[in-house]
Amino acid sequence: MPVIIFLPIVLFLIVLIWYIATMNNLRRAEVKINEALSDIDVALVKRHDVLSKMYDICKGYMKYEKETILETINLRSGMTMKERTNAINDLDQASNFVNVVAENYPELRSSENFKQLQISVMDVEEHLQAARRLYNSNISYLNQKVVSFPSSIVANTLGISSKEFFETKEDKKEDVKMDF
Amino acid sequence: MEDKILYIENLRKKILNHMLIILGTSITPALFIFFPLSLSAGILPASLFILIFTTVILFLILGAITGYFKKYKEYKHIYKKAFVEGPFNHAFDKVRCDFKKGISKDVIEATKIIMLGNRYYSNDYISGSYNNVDFERSDVLIQNHTSNGKNSHTVTYFQGRWLIFEFNKKFHFDLQIIGKGFTYSNKRNGFFTSKDNRRRKVEFEDIQFNKDFKVYAQDDFEAFYILTPQFIDTLKNMSNTMDGKFMMGFIDNKLHVAINTGKDAMEPSIFRSIKNTNHGEVEKEINVIINIIEGLNLDRDLYN
């Protein structure tokens, strides 16, 4: 008799504990994703700043000032993923532009200031890459939970769905390769 | 060099003869006096124990009186000067060798990446620089000895080489990479570790890497910053080429590499002729350092 009474209670408690644990896991994954996203934004701003400084140095070597793509990039909080991807692509273009200028002016390439900024660009690039990989890793974790049973039940009740990975152009690595 | 080899070879022969003489002198009275006496009085296993025990005691006494141990230590020192310090000087800059010294226990303890028993030995300390990357290496033995009065038990936690490199990326949190099969690591991911110091398991995008290595980090972002895809690839290759199970720790802007080779690599054998001795062990030691620096791009002067 006591077994008949206690068994459903124990089973209910087990299910309840599992539900709460899974719910917390999913919520934590969402928080982690947002953290990683903010890491991406921080890295993007840093990259923009460093490239702006490089551009300022390049200006002195150019015969006439040219409006660069840097000036049209608008980095703000709460960007959509598409806007972020566009910003990355624009920054890649800006980076390529700076490299082309540096290619044509050996004295610019050999200036200490420029070299330091090139090092900073590479460092910021690695931060950006790390932030993007961490973001995708967290997305992968969440998506696995969302699609696999039984955690998918909890995800459905909470209204959590699979999220998109942060993918960039395949030629992304090209702008990291800089000649010193 | 030939003269030096000849000199060390003659020294080795002298030491070997010395050892054989005192061994013979120790075993003779043990075999002809103590062993028959104990045999006539008791049982065979006890007699065998007395034979071995008296031989060892006499060997230690005679070795100390005739200066055998001192000479053997001198021989080891001369051997290492020639066959270890020489090649290291050739391969690296700013080489400093102190074969009696090792990496201090405090340094290893501060990393908090390995279980420390109650016995710690370290020797064959070498420091130097390769492509402007400073390194230190040392042989390390960590054991845990327990005894309940009747039985004693010794577990070797780690025996091999411990390497410390300057790391070229600035980081603020600890990171630990444990290769498959490396036991007795200290993960500090448990409930009882304070939240600030606790390391959490981090998984990467490479499935094979996640199978071969366990990564514990205080900060996820820094883990991804340090472990770039190229770094991950190199680590996967290293796990196939390294001569032991290994673990890495990124602590205080230094990279610690613990390779559990199960041996003391630099020790010479007096039973083997110098000419027949395989000096490949020293070469291997040098190559391990170079491979780590070049493979992991530690010589990339990005941030210093």
User: Do the Cβ atoms of B221 and A123 come within 8 Å?
Assistant: no
Q: Is the dihedral of CA B174, B175, B179, B180 positive or negative?
A: positive
Q: What order of strands is seen across the sheet that includes strand B254-260? A: B93-98, B119-130, B133-147, B152-166, B254-260, B245-251, B175-179, B213-217, B200-202
With cut-offs at 50, 70 and 90, classify the pLDDT of residue B10: confident
Q: Would you say residue B196 has pLDDT above 90?
A: no
Q: Would you say residue B231 has pLDDT above 80?
A: yes
pLDDT tens track for B151-182: 889 999 999 999 999 988 888 888 999 999 99
- The share of chain A scoring above pLDDT 90, in percent, equals 12
A122 CB neighbours in chain B (<8 A) are: 302
pLDDT tens track for A89-147: 888 888 887 888 788 877 777 788 888 888 888 888 888 888 888 888 889 889 999 99
pLDDT value, residue B258: 95
Alpha-carbon radius of gyration of chain A? 24
With cut-offs at 50, 70 and 90, classify the pLDDT of residue B117: confident
With cut-offs at 50, 70 and 90, classify the pLDDT of residue A68: low
The better pLDDT of the pair A80, B277 is held by A80
Average pLDDT over chain B reads 86
B204 CB neighbours in chain A (<8 A) are: 133, 137
pLDDT value, residue B178: 94
**CA separation for the pair B171, A145 (Å, rounded):** 31
- A1 min Cα distance to partner chain B (Å): 39
Of B204, B221, B229, the CB nearest to A39: B221
Average pLDDT over chain A reads 80
Buried b (16+ CB within 10 A) or exposed e, B49-74: ebbeebbeebbeebbeeeebeebbee
- Picking from B231, B271, B229, B263, the residue whose alpha carbon sits closest to that of residue B250 is B231
pLDDT value, residue A64: 55
Least CA distance to B226: which residue of chain A?
A130
User: Do the Cβ atoms of A36 and B221 come within 8 Å?
Assistant: yes
pLDDT value, residue B304: 46
Measured from the Cβ of residue B39, the count of other Cβ atoms closer than 10 Å reads 15
Q: Which of A31, A116, A134, A136 to mutate to test the interface with B (most CBs of B within 10 A)?
A: A134
User: Do the Cβ atoms of B228 and A129 come within 8 Å?
Assistant: yes
Least CA distance to B222: which residue of chain A?
A130
User: Do the Cβ atoms of A126 and B228 come within 8 Å?
Assistant: yes
pLDDT tens track for B46-80: 777 777 888 888 889 988 888 888 888 888 888 88
User: Do the Cβ atoms of B224 and A32 come within 8 Å?
Assistant: no
CB-CB contact of B146 with B152 (8 Å): yes
Work out how many CB contacts closer than 8 A connect A with B.
Answer: 35
Of A126, A134, A140, the CB nearest to B220: A134
Q: Would you say residue A170 has pLDDT above 60?
A: no
User: What global pTM score does this model have?
Assistant: 0.79
Tokens linked to B213: 């290595």
Q: What is the 3-state secondary structure (H, E, C) of B108-153?
A: HHHHCCECCCCEEEEEEEEEEEECCEEEEEEEEEEEEEEECCCCEE
- A122 min Cα distance to partner chain B (Å): 8
**CA separation for the pair B39, B45 (Å, rounded):** 9
B169 CB neighbours in chain A (<8 A) are: 126
**CA separation for the pair B110, B113 (Å, rounded):** 8
Would you give the end-to-end CA distance of chain A in angstroms? Answer: 82
**CA separation for the pair B65, B119 (Å, rounded):** 29
- B275 min Cα distance to partner chain A (Å): 48
Distances (CA, A) of A151 to A13, A19, B120, B201: 17, 8, 48, 21
Q: Would you say residue B11 has pLDDT above 80?
A: yes
Which residue is associated with the tokens 């909890």? A154
- Picking from B139, B155, B89, B143, the residue whose alpha carbon sits closest to that of residue B244 is B139
pLDDT value, residue A125: 85
- A7 min Cα distance to partner chain B (Å): 30
- Picking from A148, A146, A149, the residue whose alpha carbon sits closest to that of residue A158 is A146
Residue type, B69: F
Q: Between vectors from CA A135 to CA A134 and to CA A139, what angle results, nearest 5°?
A: 115
Least CA distance to A136: which residue of chain B?
B205
Q: Is the dihedral of CA A52, A53, A59, A62 positive or negative?
A: negative
Q: What is the 3-state secondary structure (H, E, C) of chain B?
A: CHHHHHHHHHHHHHHHHHHHHHHHHHHHHHHHHHHHHHHHHCCHHHHHHHHHHHHHHHHHHHHHHHCHHHHHHHHHHHHHHHHHHHHHHHHCEEEEEECCCCCCHHHHHHHCCECCCCEEEEEEEEEEEECCEEEEEEEEEEEEEEECCCCEEEEEEEEEEEEEEECCCCCCCCEEEEECCCCCECCCCCCCCCCCCCCEEECCCCHHHHHHEEEEECCHHHHHHHCCHHHHHHHHHHHHHCCCEEEEEEECCEEEEEEECCCCCCCCCCCCCCCCCCCHHHHHHHHHHHHHHHHCCCCCCCCC
- A149 min Cα distance to partner chain B (Å): 21
Residues of chain A contacting B, Cβ within 8 Å = 32, 36, 39, 119, 122-123, 126-127, 129-131, 133-134, 136-137, 140-141
pLDDT value, residue A56: 80
Q: Which of B200, B210, B220, B226 to mutate to test the interface with A (most CBs of A within 10 A)?
A: B220
Least CA distance to A32: which residue of chain B?
B220
The better pLDDT of the pair B280, A148 is held by A148
Buried b (16+ CB within 10 A) or exposed e, A21-50: ebbebbeebeebbeebbebbbebbebbbeb
Q: Would you say residue B190 has pLDDT above 70?
A: yes
User: Do the Cβ atoms of B225 and A140 come within 8 Å?
Assistant: no
With cut-offs at 50, 70 and 90, classify the pLDDT of residue A178: very low
- The residue-averaged pLDDT of B243-251 equals 91
**CA separation for the pair A20, B95 (Å, rounded):** 58
pLDDT value, residue B144: 93
pLDDT value, residue A62: 67
pLDDT value, residue A69: 64
- A57 min Cα distance to partner chain B (Å): 20
User: Do the Cβ atoms of B205 and A137 come within 8 Å?
Assistant: yes
- β-bridge pairing B200-202 and B213-217: antiparallel
**A99 DSSP β-pair partners:** none
The better pLDDT of the pair B3, B296 is held by B296
- The residue-averaged pLDDT of A56-66 equals 68
Measured from the Cβ of residue B151, the count of other Cβ atoms closer than 10 Å reads 7
